[in-house]
Chain A
């Protein structure tokens, strides 16, 4: 069974500072994989490397066996990988519906079509409606994304990420800044929308991580120090040390 997403000795250096120092990971199709680690470990940088915002200094990223390291973000997205952002990154002046429509366009094959009205495209409208239902924002269809509440924007963020029906989904701290109730709702949403897809998630909230993940990787100073089932990670000495230092147990 080939990996949905695999990283081979991935390295990234900024100037003289190495941030990612050789990360290798194999993520199986349909797996829910969480990446945790202390602040500054390089988790978001790792996401940037996988999704194409940064080019690796060395090493490889492969999506479904095909090499994607070095490609532009849109080329990677077209091959079936989509990511969300830690700081909400949507289209503020477009409505919720419009945001989702735009997210669905390329994967439905419409590309740069300037000869057909978008309102006529049934598949786009249906996909957008369906997405709105799933993320629970149907009631806010025509509201400008910029004026939504924080939790609603985070939900929209996820909606835009899954809008292209990508097989591999990267979520960067999806529950950041949320209250307990909001987090629970977000987790239920994530579980629902990533059914049958491969999910890689960066998270700080351990309850989310242990509730959702099939496997957890721990990133410390740009290296993966452990990659295992949640229970094993919980008991892992190196992980505890990384998080709590020598003193705590």
Chain B
């Protein structure tokens, strides 16, 4: 039992940190530009695939550095030549643009790398056991992922709170018009923020790729959960996104680990109409839980846990 709790917590926190890597970029983009970037999970996927391709020809570590930069550059281009164009048509058009982009990214990935998973491997340098607890081992690569996520978070926090650029970005988060009138090049800031957000998602992809499966459906698996995270955390709140990421990461991991069902708890005789539900295990319910949380949150508290705005 204790073993289950320890490892589930570790894995849950890791999953949560991964979610936060992406949710932070998404929140920044949304807060500044009012655009909910549907293609964010697509950038995550591109990070994984670019990392894979580079690690195939050169090595994992060059990929670790270059892939997020490539994705970031791509993101900046998307903002500059796509999103900026659509901005004048309104928020709906921006949303639809990123929606279409997400789809196109997935299709392009399928063309270049095929529909089957690719063999993105953990680098040999990190392929050992970190520690042994309660008869189970914990891989070092996961510790590396956790470290990277924490480091990125610290880096982001430092930039936002300790640098001048960060100050401007914080201001533009809530008052973009005012910041523009103060003489700052807000379109350029937007481009940078979008690019950095994409790069963060790409970084998440680079490190998650070897641990989770790198396949064309990976964006669609994580995408909706990402939206759950930022809505539950509160649109526009970085702290909220952090809390929600960890919350959902831990809940889902625990749900998958706990393999019990109503039938196991209460006996095999299901009450009428509940037939299927009686047999289902909590692990099977795991994919549904985030959406249940989303719907409940939107009913009772649309601003999320810590949000300040609804739109």
Question: When A and B assemble into the complex, do they touch directly, with CB atoms less than 8 Å apart?
Answer: no
